[in-house]
């Protein structure tokens, strides 16, 4: 049997969970020995293989129709889906937007910010994703493994990846719930 294929992507988040993944330093060489790293935001391949991958990892919440498409494609193409970080697990920081209407949020971001001049307007290109209520990943697709933390500790991410790469479902509990 070859190495398990692993893909990752980010949705509505800050990239901090992927930065924490890189924080595992030289242990990333161990992960590369155990797993075949496919599409990620930091590799050239940008979509999980059409023939499928063993593990899919998603950082970030679902905040628009594009996030939904990315999550659904990853779910369709992976055997085990991991929600990485608080945003993916329960909505996290992006979910604070749910206290406001989408119109209010867009006006604040594109029109009312102190640094925006009078030409500011809400983008309306039809090709843009449509904002939605912010949701956790599991509200859109079934999730198999939850890794909370903002971001999760690099030690925990290493543990999760090493377990999955060896065909085991990681148990994220106890001191593995500690994060900085
Ligand atoms: S969980 Fe924290 S570190 Fe990860 S994407 Fe969300 S805000 Fe960033």
Over residues 98-138, the pLDDT tens digits come to 999 999 999 999 999 999 998 999 999 999 999 999 999 99
Give, for ligand 1, the residue of 13, 89, 147 to mutate: max count of ligand atoms closer than 8 Å to Cβ: 13
For the whole model, what pTM was predicted?
0.94
Q: 3-state class of 155 per DSSP?
A: helix
Is the distance from the beta carbon of residue 151 to the nearest atom of ligand 1 less than 6 Å?
A: yes
Q: What is the pLDDT of residue 2?
A: 83
Is ligand 1 within 6 A of the CB of residue 17?
yes
The Cα–Cα gap between 75 and 70 comes to: 9
Quick one: pLDDT at residue 180? 55
Ligand 1 atom showing the smallest separation from residue 85 Cα: 1
Q: Which domains does the chain have, with CATH numbers?
A: 5-94+132-171 (3.40.50.700)
Helix (H) or strand (E) holding 8: strand 5-10
């Amino acid at each position: 049997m070859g190495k398990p294929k692993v893909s990752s992507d980010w949705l509505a988040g800050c990239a901090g969970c992927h930065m924490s993944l890189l924080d595992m330093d030289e242990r990333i060489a161990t992960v590369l020995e155990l797993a075949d790293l496919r599409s990620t935001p930091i590799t050239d391949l940008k979509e999980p293989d059409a023939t499928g991958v063993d593990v899919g990892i998603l950082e970030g919440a679902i905040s628009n129709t594009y996030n939904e498409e990315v999550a659904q494609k990853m779910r369709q193409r992976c055997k085990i889906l991991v929600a990485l970080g608080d945003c993916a697990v329960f909505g996290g920081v992006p979910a604070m937007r749910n206290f406001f209407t989408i119109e209010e949020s867009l006006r604040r971001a594109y029109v009312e910010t102190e640094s925006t001049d009078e030409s500011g307007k809400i983008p309306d290109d039809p090709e843009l994703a449509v904002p939605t209520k912010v949701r956790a990943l599991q509200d859109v697709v079934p999730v198999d493994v939850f890794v909370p933390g903002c971001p999760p500790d690099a030690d925990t991410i290493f543990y999760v990846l090493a377990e999955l790469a060896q065909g085991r479902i990681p148990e994220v509990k106890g001191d593995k719930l500690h994060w900085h």
